[in-house]
Chains A and B, each alone.
Chain A
Amino acid sequence: MRSLGLDPVADTRATFRALCDAMSRPGTIQAVPTDPADHAVVATLVDHEVSLSTADTELREKLASHGRLDDAEPETADIVHTHGVPTWNVADLTRGTLVEPSEGATVIYRVDGLSADADADLDLTTITLSGPGIPDTRSVAVGLPTEELDAITATQSTYPRGVEAIFTAGDRLLAVPRSVSMEVA
C-alpha cells in the first residue's frame, strides 16, 4: 500500500509484529512504522478475503484501487474501523459462533490518545486488564469515553464469542483481545 505511505512488504510485516506483541501482551503500547497507525493496521490485515466497514474515504479509495475493498455494513463486517466513538453499537458487531469464534470482528478505533501512565491525562479513560498475556493486572489509559469501553466489555461477556479491539493514536497502538477482562475506571 504505497499509496497509504507504507512499504507493502517491510512496513506491513513490522505492523503485524506490533499487532502480535499488542495482542499477546494486552495493554502494552506498541509502535508501528507509519502514522496514522490505524491505516497501517488496515493495510496489514485487509484484502478482498475479508469484509471491511469504514467511513474513512481515503482508506476506501486506496483499498478499492487495489481491489482489496470488500465493503460491508458494520454488523456483518470482519474488520470494522472508526475514528473515535462510532455511529454503530459495538454489541451489534459479529462475534462469531461457538464452533468458529474466530469469525468475530476485529474493531479498530482511532482514538485521541493512549498512555501507559494510567493517571497521566484526565481526558483519557483508565482501563485495567487481566487475563492471558498479563501477569497480574495491567492498567493503561485510552482516549475513548467510559460508555464505549463499557460497551466493549459487555460484548466480550459471551466468550469465546466476541470481538478484538485495537486502539490507535498517532503511530502507537494497543489491543484488547476478547480473552482478557477489562475494568473501566
Chain B
Amino acid sequence: MTETEPPTTGQTVSTDSVDAVLDSLDGDDGLDGYNYAYLDEHTKREVRRSILKAIAIPGHQVPYASRPMPLARGWGTGGIQASLSILGPDDTFKVIDQGSDESVNAANIRRLASDTADVETTTDTTDADVIQTRHRIPEEVLTDDQILVLQVPITDALRKVDSSDAANRRRHAHKNYGKMWVHLYENVVEFGEINIAARYPTMVGGRYLMDPSPIPRWDVPKLDDADNLFVFAAGREARIYAVPPHTSVEPLAFEDRTFQVERFPDQSCQACGSTDTYLTEIETDDRDRQYVCNDTSFCLKRQDSEELPKDYHLDREGVDWGPGTPDDEKSATPEATVDSHGGDAE
C-alpha cells in the first residue's frame, strides 16, 4: 500500500476530532430500537423475581442470569441491571461512586438511565427515589420511600476464609460460620482488634452472614433497622441479595473486642469542617495530607450550612444513622486511636 491509497478496509472519517463525530450524532438517534430502560422485559422479569426472593430471605444470595451490559462486568453491571429493573419514569435517580457523583463511571450510569429510562437525575440524596452506589451509604438518613442499590464485587463474606463457593454455600445452608469466627479471633491475636477495613462480615436477621459490599465499617451500622430497602447486586458473580427495612443487621464481633468504626481523631473536613462524617485522606500537590468528606453532595450542603444535621429533611429528630448521629453516641468509644487500614480493602 502506498501513502496515497486510502485504506481498503474500514471507513474514513472526515472530521477533525472525536468530539465533532459525537456532535454530528443527533440526540437520541442511537437509542432507537432499545427497550424502555435498556433491558428487555425478559431480563427484567428475571432480575425482578430474584430481587423479590432476595427481600423475602434477607441476606441470602439469590442467583440470577446476569446479562451482558454495554460495559465490562465488574464496573457496576449488577447494580445497573437492578436499577434499570426498578426504575420508572416517575423516579429520580442518583448514582455515587465512593461518595462522589462526578466519577466517570457514576456519570455514565446516570446518563444511561436518563437516556433510556427517561428518569430525572439528581446529586441530592434527599431528592432521589433510587440511589445506585459503589462502596458507600450516603451520610444523609435514607427514608422509606427510597431504595439503595449497592454494587457488589464479591458476594460471599466467607470467601476470605474459603475460596470454595460450593463449601461456602453449604456453610450458609447450615448457618455454620465457625470459620469466620476463627478468622476474627486470629485477627485479634495478631492485631489486638478486628482488623477488617471493608466488606465487614455482618449477620442479617440472625440467620445469614452477609458481605455488605466494600462499604467502610463507618456505614455498616446504617444497615441495621433502617427505613429504606437495600438491594445488593453483583453482575460478575450473578447474585442478588437484600436487606429489607427494619431488619436486624449485626456486625460480627466479640464481647470484649467490639465492632469499631473508623476513627479520625483531631481531624475535620478541610472543605466543610465536619467532624461527624466519613473522611478520606488526600495528598495535595505540595505533599500535604488533608482530610475531606467522602460524601461530596452532603459536604457541599455542609459548606453552606455548617451545623446541618444528617436528618434535617425528616420530620423527626435524633434518627440513628450510624456514627455521628445521636443514638449512636451512647455506644461510641471515647478512646481515640489512629485508624489502621487492614489488608482487606477493595
Where the two chains meet, the residues of A that have a C-beta atom closer than 8 Å to any C-beta of B are 8-10, 12-14, 16-17, 19-20, 23-25, 44-47, 49-50, 97-102, 106, 131-135, 159-160, 164, 177-179
Contacts and interface: CB of A to CB of B under 8 A. Distances in A.
29 contacts: A9-B41, A10-B89, A12-B44, A13-B37, A13-B88, A16-B44, A16-B85, A17-B88, A20-B51, A20-B86, A24-B229, A24-B242, A46-B45, A49-B45, A98-B173, A99-B173, A100-B63, A102-B54, A102-B63, A132-B58, A132-B244, A133-B245, A135-B225, A160-B57, A160-B208, A164-B53, A177-B55, A178-B57, A179-B205
B301 interface: no
B274 interface: no
Nearest to A103: B53
Contact of B55 (A9, A23, A99): A23
User: Mostly helix, strand, loop or mixed at chain B's interface?
Assistant: mixed
B49 A14 contact: no
Interface string B45-64: 11011111111111010110
Contacts of A45: 45, 48-49, 52
Contacts, number: 107
B257 interface: no
Contacts of A160: 57, 60, 207-208
A101 B60 CA distance: 8
Interface size class of B (residues with CB under 8 A): 35 or more
B289 interface: no
Interface in B63-82: 63
B55 A134 contact: no
A131 B55 CA distance: 12
A132 B170 contact: no
Interface string B8-48: 00000000000000000000000000011100011011101
B174 interface: yes
Contacts of B89: 10
B244 A47 contact: no
Nearest to A47: B45
